[in-house]
Amino acid sequence: MLPHSSGLGPHVPLPEYVENMRKIGKYLKSLSEKIRIIFLTAPPVNEEQILENLRDIIPERNRTNESCKIYSDACLEVCRELDVKAVDLWTSIQKRKDWSTACFTDGIHFSAAASKIVAEEILKVLREADWEPSLHWKSLPTEFAESSPYDPPCGDGTTLNIADHSVAQALIHWGLSDN
C-alpha cells in the first residue's frame, strides 16, 4: 500500500515497516534460545477485485501488487538478517495459475484456496527446519497416548485413540500433504 498524500491511513512507510519487523524479530528471539519464529510476507492482491468490491471503502488504487512485492522482499531481507524462517506468500500464492481469481474473496482477503496454500507453506517450513526438537507434526510426541473410555468405540469392542489419528485425519480433510 502506498502512502496517502495526507499522511493518514493504514500505510506504514517502508523504512518504518522494516524497523518494526526487525524489532519484532529481535524481541521474539530474545525471549528464549529455543524460540521458533516464522514470518509470513505480504501476499499479492487482486487489484481489479479490490476496485470492484471495495470501491466504497478504498476509493483510490492505493494497494498494488507492486507495493506488496516491495514489502514482501523487505520482510524476506529482515528474515535473512535475523536468521528467522519465512513463508514467501507473495510468490507462493502466485504459483497457482488462477491465483488472482481463486485466492481472494474481495481482492485482499484470502479464500479457502489461498488459506490452503498458506497452511501448506507453513507445514513445509516446519518439515524442513532443522529445529531441535522438530515442530513438524509427525515428529511431536503424542501427549495423551493412553486409551480412554471416552474415545469413540470401534466395531471390535476397543476404542479409537483420537490422539493417534486427529492430526493425520485433519490434514487429509483439508487436502494437505501428510509429509
Q: For residue range 22-35, list pLDDT tens digits in order.
A: 999 999 999 998 89
Q: Is position 135 within any domain?
A: no
Q: Number of C-alpha atoms within 13 angstroms, CB side, residue 57?
A: 10
Q: Is position 7 within any domain?
A: no
Query: Residue 148: is its pLDDT beyond 80?
Result: no
For residue 133, which phi and psi values (nearest 5 degrees)?
Answer: -75, 160
Please report the pLDDT score of residue 40 as a whole number. Answer: 98
Query: Residue 1: is its pLDDT beyond 50?
Result: no
Q: Is position 9 within any domain?
A: no
The per-residue pLDDT of the chain, averaged, comes to: 83
Report pTM. Answer: 0.75
DSSP string of 90-135, one letter each residue: HHHHHTSTTHHHHSBSSSSSB-HHHHHHHHHHHHHHHHH---SS--
Q: Is position 49 within any domain?
A: yes
Residue span of the structural domain in which 113 resides: 14-129
| CATH number of 27's domain | 3.40.50.1110
Say yes or no: 27 and 109 in one domain.
Answer: yes
Q: Is position 8 within any domain?
A: no
Q: Is position 44 within any domain?
A: yes
Q: How far apart are CA 77 and CA 173, in angstroms?
A: 35
Greater model confidence, 120 or 5: 120
Say yes or no: 170 and 150 in one domain.
Answer: yes
